[in-house]
A = this chain, B = another copy of it.
Amino acid sequence: MEWKWEFSRTARRVKSSAIRDLLKLTQQPDIISFAGGLPAPELFPVEEIGEAGDYVLKHEGQYALQYSTTEGYRLLRRFLAKRMTQKGMAVDEDEILITGGSQQGLDLLGRLFLEEGDWIVSAQPTYVGAIQAFSAYGVNFHTVPLDKDGIKVELIEEAVKEKKPKFIYVIPTFQNPGGVTLSLERRRNLVEIARRRQVPIVEDDPYSELRYEGEDLPTLKALGGEVVILLGTFSKIVSPGLRLAWIAGPQEVIEKLIKLKQGADLHTNTFTQYILYQFLKGGGLDRHLKVLRQEYGQRRRVMLEALRENFPPKVKWTTPQGGLFLWVELPPGVDASALLPEVVKEKVAYVPGSAFYPNGGGENTLRLNFSNASPQLIREGMKRLAKVFSAKIP
């Protein structure tokens, strides 16, 4: 007898994506990949994590290996509240929830706000993980284009009036995938719109500590206070394998999220929370950020140089001041997905930009990551990429 599984609407919505199948192509050991958003593994603070782990097991093993609270380790939340306050965000430890990576934060916010058929406003292109998390709830995306100053905020108020979105989702600093940063003026305007129209902003902020040039800008959270829910993460600045991130928002929101998280996974990993706190307490983060800023800054320079020197003149790209990515636009009519198999033959890879378009489009765009490969490999990979593009782009 054939067994027939009856899945929920949510499960039926989640489909295998053409992009994911394409990206499987790029997972070969000898490929130079600009596709993922992976930190450089050779820079992980392995030794300091080891020391922190030894300390934790020696002195706090009975706590670090036990069940803990859903909201997360109090000392870690206190550290984050203090650091955020120093950056102009008046956040208390009770306004912070520790999550198992920012992807869980996105999912919990989906659970908190979204119903089938709802609208949200986001940039186009935007983070593929956010598209995936929110799409699971059956929502519609009203997308707003980006330019070199970030999402075009002047187009948002009309969209909010018309669509009544549950929230506005933005990555203001070193946007993924665009690499662009929202200007101060637009930040102020966006917060004003949110206040005036009573629509919350979800500010995804994984990269702001990774600035290689220019001046820090205030976060939307710093400008907007309780209208902004901020997602922060240690994945890009310490280690993604520890799966530690946080949501900072008004207490009413955090309390609801705690209840939702309790049903979803009880609590975040106790052991890695303790280890991370030990690492942070010893000043590990600022030491490590210094290393990352220097290394990733160099990789970014190398990639930009290669673009200027080797790429066909009709190819355009963004010049990010930080983060992990830059965004490339091929001439209209050139399809980055169709080119990928050619590129993979040359043992190099990127993500076709259409992956980042919730409603389709972006066929002539692609995203390049510059954090994962060494400067030498970036040079070599970019040469190979330029070779294919020069042959295929008129």
Binding site for B on A (CB under 8 A): 1, 3-11, 14-16, 36, 38-39, 41-42, 44, 46-47, 49-50, 53-54, 57-58, 61-68, 99-101, 103-104, 107, 111-115, 129, 132-133, 135-136, 166, 195, 198, 200, 226-227, 235, 239-243, 250, 252-253, 256, 259-260, 262-272
Q: In the bound complex, how far is the Cα of B241 from the Cα of A15, in angstroms?
A: 33
Please tell me how many copies of the chain the complex holds. 2
- Interface of A, secondary structure class, is helix
Q: In the bound complex, how far is the Cα of B72 from the Cα of A243, in angstroms?
A: 13
**A53-B53, A264-B104 given; A256·B11 CB < 8 A:** yes
For residue A64, which residues in chain B have a CB less than 8 angstroms away from its CB?
Answer: 241
The CB with the most chain B CB atoms within 10 A, among A16, A39, A64, A235, is that of A64
A47 nearest CB neighbor, chain B only? B57
- Is B65 within 8 A of A57, CB to CB? no
**A44-B62, A65-B46, A265-B103 given; A270·B252 CB < 8 A:** no
**A113-B8, A263-B132, A272-B272 given; A241·B65 CB < 8 A:** yes
Q: In the bound complex, how far is the Cα of B100 from the Cα of A104, in angstroms?
A: 11
- Rounded to whole Å, the gap between the CB of A188 and the closest CB of chain B is 18
Given contact pairs A133-B264, A136-B260, enumerate 8 new A-B contacts (beta carbons under 8 Å): A3-B198, A10-B111, A15-B259, A44-B66, A63-B241, A99-B265, A239-B271, A243-B267
- Is A8 within 8 A of B136, CB to CB? no
For residue A66, which residues in chain B have a CB less than 8 angstroms away from its CB?
Answer: 38-39, 41, 44, 239-241
- Is A16 within 8 A of B115, CB to CB? no
- Is B41 within 8 A of A263, CB to CB? no
- Is A264 within 8 A of B198, CB to CB? no
For residue A112, which residues in chain B have a CB less than 8 angstroms away from its CB?
Answer: 7-8, 10-11
- Is A265 within 8 A of B67, CB to CB? no
A60 nearest CB neighbor, chain B only? B46
